[in-house]
Structure 1
C-alpha cells in the first residue's frame, strides 16, 4: 500500500472547477513531482492533500486511513508537512523562534528533527539564528520555511515551488538539501515548473494541464519524452 494515495479528487473555487479527477500516489522514501506550467493546478493539489482546500469529491488516503477534508492541523500532527509557495515565515520572529513555534514531538522509528539537525542541514540559518525572518534573503527564507516544516517531524513533505523567486546559485543549493532529505528517508511531493530542477531530483513525475493529470512516468522517461515536454511544459 502506498504511503499516500490520491484518488480522483475534484476541487472548485466557487463556480470554477480547478482539479478534474486528479490521482497520484507516493511510496515511502520517494520524491514525486507535480510538473506543469503556472496555473495548471499544482498548488491546489497540494492544498487539497493537506486539507487546506478540501476536495468536493474523491479520496485522500494517508497510511491506509482516509483523511479527505480533515483539518490541516490534524494532518500535520499525523506526519504531513507543508511548505507553502508563499513561504509565510513569521517576519517579526527570529530564525530560532520560527523554528520553535513549529516544534512537534518526534515520531517512533524516525530520527527526530531539532534545531541542531536543521542547522546542520542549513548552516546559513545557524549563523542568522537571532535575525528576524523578514530580514533574510529570499533563498534564506525558503530554507527557513523548509526547516520550520522539518521541526514538525513529518514523514512526508508537500513542497510547493521551492525554486520560485530564488537566485540560480541558491536554487542549486536548495536542490542539494532536498536531495539530502530524500536520501535520509523523508518522502516528498514537490510541485514545480522548473523542469531541469525536477528531473534532477525526482523519482517519478505527474504532468498536469488544466487541472488534470495528462502524463505519469519516471523522471528518466519524462526526460526522453520531448512530445510531452513541448506540449505541456515548455513556454
Structure 2
C-alpha cells in the first residue's frame, strides 16, 4: 500500500517554474531516491512534500489524506520527518537540547525514538551530548540532524542531500546508518546527487532534470543504464 503519493506537483518561485508535474510514490518500508545534479528540483520536491514550499498545483496524499499546502508543523505531528540539506542545527544548544526540542510522541504500535535509542544509532552523539551543536564537525552535525528528526518519531523520513560537504569516510558511516534505519522498516525518501550512495541504498529511483522526472526505475535498472547516467547524472 502506498504511504505517500505525489501527483503532478508543480512549484514556482515568482515567474520561474522550478517543478513541472512531478509524480512519485513511496510504499511503507521502502527507500525511494530523487537523484540528479544540483539545481534540478530535488530539494524543492522535498520542501513541497513537507509543506515548507507552497506548490502551485498538484496533489500530495499522505496515508490516504490530501495534505497539499498543509502547515509543516501539522505534517511533522502526522509522521513526516524532514532532514534539511543545510542541517539547521541549533548551534548554541547542546546535542541533548537539540534532541529534546524535537521530541514528539510515537504513533500507536511504533517503537519510540528517544535519547537512548538515537545514541545507540549514533554513538558519537552520546560522547558529545553536552557539547554545543555549533562546535560539532560537519559529519557530526549531519548525524545530529538525522537524530533530531528521529526524535519526532516519523513514519517517513525525508533526507535532503545527507552526503553533501562531508568527508568520504563520514559519508560511508552515514550510509551505513541510513541502511540500518531502512532495515528497521522506516520509509525514506532520499534526495541525493551522489549516485554510488543512492544505488547502495535505494529500492527505486526517480531521476530529475530541470524540474521534471525523466526516468523511473529500480536501483538495479539505473545501475546498468549507462545512457541515463551519462545524460543526466554525470558532471
Q: Compute the TM-score of the two structures, normalised by the length of structure 2.
A: 1.00
Q: Distance in 2 between matches of 1:211 and 1:38?
A: 11
Q: Which residue does 2:114 correspond to in 1?
A: 114
Q: Which residue does 1:132 correspond to in 2?
A: 132
Q: Distance in 2 between matches of 1:153 and 1:107?
A: 8
Q: Which residue does 2:153 correspond to in 1?
A: 153
Partner-residue secondary structure (3-state), 1:134: helix
Displacement of 1:106: 1.4
- 2:31 aligned with 1:31: yes
Q: Which residue does 1:223 correspond to in 2?
A: 223
**Structure 2: unaligned runs, 5 residues or longer:** none
Q: Which residue does 1:101 correspond to in 2?
A: 101
Q: Distance in 2 between matches of 1:60 and 1:195?
A: 26
Q: Which residue does 1:47 correspond to in 2?
A: 47
Displacement of 1:166: 0.5
- Tell me the alpha carbon deviations over residues 59-118 of structure 1, each in whole angstroms, 9 at most, x when there is no partner: 000000000000000000000000000000100000000000000011111100000000
Q: Which residue does 2:57 correspond to in 1?
A: 57
Q: How do residues 76-87 of structure 1 correspond to structure 2 at under 5 angstroms?
A: 76-87=76-87
Q: Which residue does 2:203 correspond to in 1?
A: 203
How many positions carry a matched residue from both structures? 235
Partner-residue secondary structure (3-state), 2:2: coil
Q: Compute the TM-score of the two structures, normalised by the length of structure 1.
A: 1.00
